[in-house]
Amino acid sequence: MAAEGGNGKGAAGPSGVRTYPDFSAPTVDKVMVEERAAALGKRSIKKEAKVFGLRLSIAMMDLTTLEGKDSPGKVTQLCQKAMRPHASPEVPPCAAICVYPKLVPVAKRALAGSRVKVASVATAFPSGLSALDVKLEDVRRAVAWGADEIDMVIDRGALLAGEKTRVFDEIAATKEACGPAHLKVILETGELGTYDLVREASQIAMLAGADFIKTSTGKVTPAATPAVTLVMLEAIRDFFYATGKRIGMKPAGGIRTAKQALHYLVLVKETLGDAWLTPDLFRLGASTLLNDVLMQLETQRTGAYQSGDYFSKD
């Protein structure tokens, strides 16, 4: 496939014409994927399995604050909550804290000595509408300041215009700019319009070097849904069968309840198997989810419903 534009990350063929991987993806059966995603949400989960799943979901959470009023004090407090979400030693720490680049050093200091990672949004988040050199400098600066993970946004306008090689090139260039940091590629599925385009965008991102593919920025509605997550999980499954490479998945935005979190874990288990049930390969984007999971854990432990007033709001 010849380039339609972009930044020259494809391989040059013998004729000098730049070539790219095959971006084509299977057509998605809308009825089937929505019915299967809904059916998997109706699974009955017994008490021991439910407690295990709730704890696992906490270990997979990226606690996120991406507001204009974010401050060092707010980020430090969130880091404390990520390291010790609950007084019980049976409740694990969260996977990561996700912040704007400017606050990465604050999070890094607050999390020193813990296993909680620092993630940073970059590449003109949330729109992705900036020059590539500006985006890449944003990434390099975040990594230099200590980010372990970078959450980039693709240029949805380019993808919707059919400029697939441009999207591929920008992801590949961002992956290179990440150096040792892991790259999560945000598709912003709520703006893509169809499951077919979500599937194709997933394929492009994985071929370009994504370590994770992620549904949403949390700034657009709809954000994560079980059906769109299932489409992306199936893309990951097929990519693994074709290449042997395991790609991670992160639904984000709109996940607010323990019941929803368990639904997503069932989707992962049924589509990808137990190997993906680890924070290394599955994350939940969360800003309000943690407290509901903690309340449900306490309910399982005590047999009495716990009020949200017993947990911090940050």
Token pair for 31? 């009825």
Find the helix or strand (DSSP H, E) in which 203 lies.
helix 195-208
Q: Letter for the amino acid at 171? A: I
Candidates 138, 151, 169, 211; catalytic one: 151
Is the separation of the CB atoms in 103 and 75 below 8 Å? yes
Alpha-carbon span 225 to 230, nearest angstrom: 9
Q: Is 314 a catalytic residue?
A: no
Is the separation of the CB atoms in 170 and 139 below 8 Å? no
- Sign of the Cα pseudo-torsion (275, 279, 280, 285, in order): positive
**φ, ψ (nearest 5 deg) of residue 289:** -70, -40
The partner residues of 182 in beta bridges, in order of sequence, read 149
Candidates 108, 211, 214, 292; catalytic one: 214
Q: Is 245 a catalytic residue?
A: no
Candidates 117, 164, 184, 250; catalytic one: 250
Alpha-carbon span 159 to 156, nearest angstrom: 5
Angle between helices 226-243 and 258-272 (to 10 degrees): 30
Q: How many CB atoms lie within 10 A of CB 55?
A: 18
Q: Is 16 helix (H, G, I), strand (E, B) or coil?
A: coil
Q: Is 151 a catalytic residue?
A: yes
Is the separation of the CB atoms in 149 and 120 below 8 Å? yes
Selection from 130, 174, 168 nearest residue 151 by Cα:
174
Instruction: Catalogue the active-site residues.
Output: 151, 214, 250
